[in-house]
Structure 1
Protein backbone atom coordinates (compact mmCIF):
# COMPACT_ATOMS: atom_id res chain seq x y z
CA UNK A 1 0.00 0.00 0.00
CA UNK A 2 1.42 3.35 -1.07
CA UNK A 3 1.25 6.55 0.96
CA UNK A 4 1.09 8.44 -2.34
CA UNK A 5 -2.31 9.62 -3.54
CA UNK A 6 -2.88 10.17 -7.27
CA UNK A 7 -5.62 12.44 -8.54
CA UNK A 8 -6.46 14.59 -11.57
CA UNK A 9 -4.55 17.86 -11.51
CA UNK A 10 -6.34 21.12 -10.73
CA UNK A 11 -5.43 24.60 -11.93
CA UNK A 12 -3.95 25.37 -8.52
CA UNK A 13 -1.43 22.55 -9.10
CA UNK A 14 0.22 24.16 -12.13
CA UNK A 15 3.06 25.79 -10.14
CA UNK A 16 3.81 22.56 -8.25
CA UNK A 17 3.76 20.55 -11.49
CA UNK A 18 6.21 23.04 -13.03
CA UNK A 19 8.47 22.73 -9.97
CA UNK A 20 8.44 18.92 -10.14
CA UNK A 21 9.10 19.06 -13.90
CA UNK A 22 12.10 21.39 -13.46
CA UNK A 23 13.65 19.50 -10.52
CA UNK A 24 13.19 16.07 -12.07
CA UNK A 25 14.38 17.17 -15.52
CA UNK A 26 17.51 18.76 -14.05
CA UNK A 27 18.35 15.50 -12.24
CA UNK A 28 17.38 13.24 -15.15
CA UNK A 29 19.30 15.22 -17.78
CA UNK A 30 22.46 15.77 -15.72
CA UNK A 31 25.28 14.54 -17.92
CA UNK A 32 23.05 14.67 -21.01
CA UNK A 33 22.71 18.46 -21.22
CA UNK A 34 25.30 21.18 -20.59
CA UNK A 35 25.19 22.92 -17.19
CA UNK A 36 23.72 26.15 -18.64
CA UNK A 37 20.85 24.18 -20.16
CA UNK A 38 20.19 22.44 -16.82
CA UNK A 39 20.04 25.83 -15.08
CA UNK A 40 17.53 27.02 -17.70
CA UNK A 41 15.13 24.24 -16.65
CA UNK A 42 13.29 26.57 -14.28
CA UNK A 43 9.70 26.30 -13.03
CA UNK A 44 8.90 29.76 -14.42
CA UNK A 45 9.53 28.50 -17.96
CA UNK A 46 7.04 25.64 -17.51
CA UNK A 47 4.19 26.91 -15.38
CA UNK A 48 2.15 28.46 -18.21
CA UNK A 49 2.50 25.28 -20.28
CA UNK A 50 1.19 23.11 -17.44
CA UNK A 51 -1.58 25.56 -16.53
CA UNK A 52 -2.82 25.37 -20.13
CA UNK A 53 -2.53 21.56 -20.20
CA UNK A 54 -4.53 21.25 -16.98
CA UNK A 55 -7.17 23.74 -18.13
CA UNK A 56 -7.75 22.09 -21.52
CA UNK A 57 -6.88 18.46 -20.55
CA UNK A 58 -4.35 18.27 -23.34
CA UNK A 59 -2.66 16.23 -22.15
CA UNK A 60 -4.64 14.94 -19.20
CA UNK A 61 -2.54 15.55 -16.10
CA UNK A 62 -2.60 13.60 -12.85
CA UNK A 63 -0.51 14.44 -9.79
CA UNK A 64 0.89 12.27 -7.02
CA UNK A 65 0.78 13.75 -3.53
CA UNK A 66 2.36 12.87 -0.23
CA UNK A 67 1.06 14.70 2.82
CA UNK A 68 -0.67 17.26 0.58
CA UNK A 69 2.48 18.07 -1.43
CA UNK A 70 2.75 17.33 -5.16
CA UNK A 71 5.76 15.05 -5.66
CA UNK A 72 5.14 13.81 -9.20
CA UNK A 73 2.90 14.03 -12.25
CA UNK A 74 2.01 12.30 -15.46
CA UNK A 75 0.62 13.78 -18.67
CA UNK A 76 -1.10 11.39 -21.07
CA UNK A 77 -3.44 11.47 -24.05
CA UNK A 78 -3.76 10.14 -27.57
CA UNK A 79 -0.51 9.62 -29.42
CA UNK A 80 0.93 12.71 -31.10
CA UNK A 81 2.89 10.57 -33.56
CA UNK A 82 1.79 10.79 -37.19
CA UNK A 83 0.03 7.81 -38.75
CA UNK A 84 -0.90 6.18 -35.43
CA UNK A 85 -4.38 4.76 -34.94
CA UNK A 86 -6.89 6.57 -32.74
CA UNK A 87 -6.55 3.73 -30.24
CA UNK A 88 -2.89 4.61 -29.59
CA UNK A 89 -2.18 6.56 -26.42
CA UNK A 90 1.00 8.27 -25.29
CA UNK A 91 2.66 9.18 -22.03
CA UNK A 92 3.56 12.77 -22.88
CA UNK A 93 5.49 13.32 -19.63
CA UNK A 94 6.10 11.52 -16.36
CA UNK A 95 8.27 13.17 -13.71
CA UNK A 96 8.87 12.61 -10.00
CA UNK A 97 10.91 14.74 -7.60
CA UNK A 98 14.32 13.04 -7.30
CA UNK A 99 13.98 12.55 -3.53
CA UNK A 100 10.92 10.37 -4.25
CA UNK A 101 12.55 8.20 -6.93
CA UNK A 102 12.37 4.44 -6.35
CA UNK A 103 9.49 4.75 -3.84
CA UNK A 104 6.54 3.73 -6.02
CA UNK A 105 5.42 7.18 -7.21
CA UNK A 106 6.15 6.46 -10.87
CA UNK A 107 4.24 3.18 -10.71
CA UNK A 108 1.24 4.91 -9.10
CA UNK A 109 1.30 7.58 -11.82
CA UNK A 110 1.66 4.98 -14.58
CA UNK A 111 -1.32 3.06 -13.16
CA UNK A 112 -3.44 6.24 -13.23
CA UNK A 113 -2.40 7.00 -16.82
CA UNK A 114 -3.09 3.43 -17.92
CA UNK A 115 -6.58 3.56 -16.41
CA UNK A 116 -7.23 6.94 -18.06
CA UNK A 117 -6.03 5.72 -21.45
CA UNK A 118 -8.16 2.59 -21.13
CA UNK A 119 -11.22 4.77 -20.40
CA UNK A 120 -10.40 6.75 -23.57
CA UNK A 121 -10.48 3.53 -25.61
CA UNK A 122 -6.73 3.24 -26.14
CA UNK A 123 -5.37 -0.26 -26.62
CA UNK A 124 -1.67 0.59 -26.90
CA UNK A 125 0.51 3.25 -25.31
CA UNK A 126 3.88 4.71 -26.27
CA UNK A 127 6.46 6.94 -24.61
CA UNK A 128 9.52 8.71 -26.03
CA UNK A 129 12.64 8.45 -23.84
CA UNK A 130 16.19 9.74 -24.37
CA UNK A 131 18.43 6.79 -25.22
CA UNK A 132 20.99 7.87 -22.61
CA UNK A 133 18.39 8.19 -19.81
CA UNK A 134 18.99 4.71 -18.40
CA UNK A 135 16.76 5.29 -15.36
CA UNK A 136 13.72 6.23 -17.48
CA UNK A 137 14.26 3.38 -19.92
CA UNK A 138 14.60 0.90 -17.06
CA UNK A 139 11.41 2.25 -15.41
CA UNK A 140 9.38 1.86 -18.58
CA UNK A 141 10.80 -1.56 -19.40
CA UNK A 142 9.91 -2.75 -15.88
CA UNK A 143 6.39 -1.43 -16.57
CA UNK A 144 6.19 -3.71 -19.62
CA UNK A 145 7.20 -1.31 -22.40
CA UNK A 146 9.37 -2.64 -25.23
CA UNK A 147 11.76 -0.58 -27.33
CA UNK A 148 10.84 0.08 -30.95
CA UNK A 149 14.38 0.50 -32.26
CA UNK A 150 13.35 1.64 -35.74
CA UNK A 151 11.69 4.69 -34.15
CA UNK A 152 14.90 6.33 -32.92
CA UNK A 153 14.88 10.08 -33.60
CA UNK A 154 16.88 13.15 -32.76
CA UNK A 155 15.18 16.05 -30.99
CA UNK A 156 16.52 19.36 -29.82
CA UNK A 157 16.35 20.37 -26.15
CA UNK A 158 17.50 23.95 -25.78
CA UNK A 159 19.72 23.63 -28.85
CA UNK A 160 21.26 20.34 -27.71
CA UNK A 161 20.52 17.28 -29.84
CA UNK A 162 19.17 14.29 -27.91
CA UNK A 163 18.60 10.81 -29.34
CA UNK A 164 15.25 9.33 -28.30
CA UNK A 165 13.61 5.96 -28.74
CA UNK A 166 9.93 5.10 -28.58
CA UNK A 167 8.76 2.36 -26.26
CA UNK A 168 5.37 0.69 -26.59
CA UNK A 169 3.09 -1.70 -24.72
CA UNK A 170 -0.51 -2.79 -24.49
CA UNK A 171 -2.71 -0.67 -22.24
CA UNK A 172 -4.33 -3.73 -20.67
Structure 2
Protein backbone atom coordinates (compact mmCIF):
# COMPACT_ATOMS: atom_id res chain seq x y z
CA UNK A 1 0.00 0.00 0.00
CA UNK A 2 1.21 3.47 -0.80
CA UNK A 3 0.06 6.87 0.43
CA UNK A 4 -1.76 7.21 -2.90
CA UNK A 5 -3.87 4.16 -2.05
CA UNK A 6 -5.29 5.67 1.15
CA UNK A 7 -8.49 7.04 -0.42
CA UNK A 8 -9.26 3.68 -2.04
CA UNK A 9 -8.47 1.80 1.16
CA UNK A 10 -10.72 4.12 3.18
CA UNK A 11 -13.57 3.51 0.76
CA UNK A 12 -13.02 -0.25 0.94
CA UNK A 13 -12.93 -0.20 4.74
CA UNK A 14 -16.04 1.93 5.08
CA UNK A 15 -18.04 -0.05 2.50
CA UNK A 16 -16.79 -3.21 4.18
CA UNK A 17 -18.03 -2.02 7.58
CA UNK A 18 -21.37 -0.94 6.12
CA UNK A 19 -21.82 -4.31 4.42
CA UNK A 20 -20.46 -6.70 7.06
CA UNK A 21 -21.67 -4.96 10.20
CA UNK A 22 -25.22 -4.01 9.16
CA UNK A 23 -27.44 -5.13 12.01
CA UNK A 24 -24.44 -5.76 14.28
CA UNK A 25 -23.47 -2.17 15.10
CA UNK A 26 -25.70 0.92 15.23
CA UNK A 27 -26.81 1.99 11.76
CA UNK A 28 -26.34 5.73 12.46
CA UNK A 29 -22.66 4.98 13.16
CA UNK A 30 -22.28 3.11 9.86
CA UNK A 31 -24.10 5.88 7.97
CA UNK A 32 -21.81 8.51 9.50
CA UNK A 33 -18.47 6.95 8.52
CA UNK A 34 -16.31 9.53 6.73
CA UNK A 35 -14.06 8.30 3.92
CA UNK A 36 -12.00 11.51 3.81
CA UNK A 37 -11.19 11.41 7.54
CA UNK A 38 -10.47 7.68 7.33
CA UNK A 39 -8.08 8.22 4.42
CA UNK A 40 -6.20 10.86 6.42
CA UNK A 41 -5.87 8.46 9.38
CA UNK A 42 -4.48 5.78 7.05
CA UNK A 43 -2.05 8.23 5.46
CA UNK A 44 -0.78 9.50 8.82
CA UNK A 45 -0.35 5.96 10.14
CA UNK A 46 1.37 4.80 6.96
CA UNK A 47 3.78 7.75 6.76
CA UNK A 48 4.46 7.92 10.51
CA UNK A 49 4.73 4.20 11.20
CA UNK A 50 7.78 2.25 12.29
CA UNK A 51 7.51 -0.29 9.45
CA UNK A 52 6.13 -3.06 11.66
CA UNK A 53 2.64 -2.89 10.12
CA UNK A 54 2.19 -4.38 6.65
CA UNK A 55 -0.69 -3.03 4.55
CA UNK A 56 -1.54 -5.01 1.43
CA UNK A 57 -3.93 -4.03 -1.33
CA UNK A 58 -5.53 -6.13 -4.04
CA UNK A 59 -6.26 -4.65 -7.44
CA UNK A 60 -8.71 -5.71 -10.14
CA UNK A 61 -7.46 -6.15 -13.70
CA UNK A 62 -8.12 -2.45 -14.46
CA UNK A 63 -6.14 -1.26 -11.43
CA UNK A 64 -9.11 -0.52 -9.14
CA UNK A 65 -8.44 -1.36 -5.50
CA UNK A 66 -10.79 -4.15 -4.40
CA UNK A 67 -9.31 -5.32 -1.09
CA UNK A 68 -7.08 -4.36 1.82
CA UNK A 69 -5.42 -6.27 4.63
CA UNK A 70 -3.33 -4.96 7.51
CA UNK A 71 -1.18 -7.05 9.84
CA UNK A 72 1.73 -6.75 12.21
CA UNK A 73 2.79 -7.49 15.76
CA UNK A 74 0.08 -8.77 18.09
CA UNK A 75 -1.18 -6.06 20.42
CA UNK A 76 -2.18 -7.08 23.92
CA UNK A 77 -3.27 -3.74 25.26
CA UNK A 78 -0.18 -1.56 24.81
CA UNK A 79 2.16 -4.55 25.05
CA UNK A 80 3.51 -6.23 21.94
CA UNK A 81 4.15 -9.94 22.09
CA UNK A 82 6.19 -12.11 19.74
CA UNK A 83 3.04 -13.14 17.85
CA UNK A 84 1.36 -11.58 14.81
CA UNK A 85 -2.10 -10.10 14.37
CA UNK A 86 -4.36 -9.54 11.42
CA UNK A 87 -5.69 -6.06 12.18
CA UNK A 88 -8.06 -5.73 9.23
CA UNK A 89 -9.26 -7.49 6.10
CA UNK A 90 -11.91 -5.79 3.98
CA UNK A 91 -13.12 -6.16 0.40
CA UNK A 92 -15.45 -4.26 -1.83
CA UNK A 93 -18.69 -6.21 -1.23
CA UNK A 94 -19.05 -7.13 -4.91
CA UNK A 95 -15.68 -8.96 -4.74
CA UNK A 96 -16.58 -11.20 -1.80
CA UNK A 97 -16.41 -14.86 -2.76
CA UNK A 98 -13.92 -14.39 -5.60
CA UNK A 99 -10.77 -15.46 -3.75
CA UNK A 100 -9.46 -11.96 -3.07
CA UNK A 101 -9.86 -12.30 0.69
CA UNK A 102 -8.17 -15.71 0.74
CA UNK A 103 -5.25 -14.32 -1.26
CA UNK A 104 -4.83 -11.28 1.00
CA UNK A 105 -5.05 -13.41 4.14
CA UNK A 106 -2.53 -15.94 2.82
CA UNK A 107 -0.06 -13.20 1.89
CA UNK A 108 -0.48 -11.43 5.23
CA UNK A 109 0.13 -14.72 7.08
CA UNK A 110 3.15 -15.48 4.88
CA UNK A 111 4.71 -12.07 5.51
CA UNK A 112 4.09 -12.33 9.25
CA UNK A 113 5.59 -15.84 9.38
CA UNK A 114 8.69 -14.71 7.48
CA UNK A 115 9.31 -12.18 10.27
CA UNK A 116 9.48 -14.89 12.93
CA UNK A 117 6.09 -15.08 14.66
CA UNK A 118 4.73 -18.61 15.08
CA UNK A 119 1.10 -17.64 15.70
CA UNK A 120 -1.34 -15.16 14.20
CA UNK A 121 -4.35 -13.75 16.04
CA UNK A 122 -7.36 -11.76 14.86
CA UNK A 123 -10.49 -10.36 16.44
CA UNK A 124 -13.92 -10.77 14.85
CA UNK A 125 -17.39 -9.68 15.92
CA UNK A 126 -19.03 -12.59 17.68
CA UNK A 127 -22.16 -12.44 15.53
CA UNK A 128 -20.36 -11.93 12.20
CA UNK A 129 -20.95 -15.53 11.13
CA UNK A 130 -19.81 -15.02 7.55
CA UNK A 131 -16.39 -13.72 8.64
CA UNK A 132 -16.08 -16.44 11.27
CA UNK A 133 -16.70 -19.15 8.66
CA UNK A 134 -14.16 -17.51 6.35
CA UNK A 135 -11.45 -17.52 9.03
CA UNK A 136 -12.29 -21.06 10.12
CA UNK A 137 -11.89 -22.29 6.53
CA UNK A 138 -8.47 -20.59 6.55
CA UNK A 139 -7.39 -22.62 9.58
CA UNK A 140 -8.18 -20.15 12.37
CA UNK A 141 -10.11 -21.23 15.45
CA UNK A 142 -11.69 -19.34 18.31
CA UNK A 143 -9.33 -19.70 21.29
CA UNK A 144 -11.78 -18.81 24.05
CA UNK A 145 -10.73 -15.18 24.47
CA UNK A 146 -13.34 -12.49 24.10
CA UNK A 147 -13.70 -8.81 24.77
CA UNK A 148 -16.29 -6.10 24.38
CA UNK A 149 -15.92 -3.63 21.53
CA UNK A 150 -17.79 -0.36 21.92
CA UNK A 151 -19.36 1.28 18.89
CA UNK A 152 -21.36 4.47 19.37
CA UNK A 153 -22.14 3.58 22.96
CA UNK A 154 -23.22 0.02 22.16
CA UNK A 155 -21.15 -2.93 23.34
CA UNK A 156 -20.52 -5.46 20.59
CA UNK A 157 -18.77 -8.68 21.66
CA UNK A 158 -15.65 -9.81 19.81
CA UNK A 159 -13.97 -13.20 19.88
CA UNK A 160 -10.32 -13.91 19.25
CA UNK A 161 -9.18 -16.42 16.68
CA UNK A 162 -5.71 -17.93 16.37
CA UNK A 163 -3.73 -19.99 13.89
CA UNK A 164 -0.24 -21.39 13.90
CA UNK A 165 1.96 -19.96 11.14
CA UNK A 166 4.17 -22.07 8.94
CA UNK A 167 7.80 -21.43 9.76
Q: Does 1:52 align with 2:44?
A: yes
**Matching residue within 92, 108, 115 for 1:113:** 108
- Counterpart selection for 1:167 from 149, 161, 167: 161
Q: 2:149 is matched with which residue: 155, 159, 165?
A: 155
Structure 2 CA distance, aligned partners of 1:84 and 1:12?
Answer: 29
Match of 1:10 among 2, 12, 29: 2
In the alignment, the residues of structure 1 paired with residue 131 and residue 34 of structure 2 have an alpha-carbon distance, to the nearest angstrom, of: 21
User: 1:89 maps to what in 2?
Assistant: 84
Structure 1 segments unaligned to the other structure (5+ residues): 1-8
Q: Which runs of 5+ in 2 are unaligned?
A: none
Residue 34 (structure 2) pairs with residue 35 (structure 1): no
Q: Is the 8 A contact 2:26 2:152 kept in 1?
A: no
2:116 is paired with a residue whose SS is: coil
Deviations 1:95-133 (A, max 9, x none): 011000011010010111011101211110000000011
Q: 1:168 & 1:24 partners in 2: Cα distance?
A: 22
| Distance in 1 (alpha carbons) for counterparts of 2:117 and 2:52 | 15
| TM-score for both structures, normalised by structure 2 | 0.91
- How far did residue 84 of structure 1 move? 6.4
Aligned pairs for 1:19-30 within 5 A: 19-30=11-22
Q: Check whether the contact 1:147–1:165 (CA below 8 A) recurs between aligned residues.
A: yes
The number of residues matched between the two structures is: 162
State the 4+ residue runs in structure 1 displaced beyond 3 angstroms: 82-85
Q: 2:119 aligns with which of 124, 132, 146?
A: 124
Residues 1:103 and 2:98 are matched in the alignment:
yes
Normalising by structure 1, we get a TM-score of 0.89
The residue that corresponds to 1:72 in the other structure is 67
Distance in 2, Cα, partners of 1:134 & 1:42:
26
CA distance in 2, matches of 1:59, 1:94: 13
TM-fit CA distance, 1:58:
5.1
Match of 1:6 in 2: none
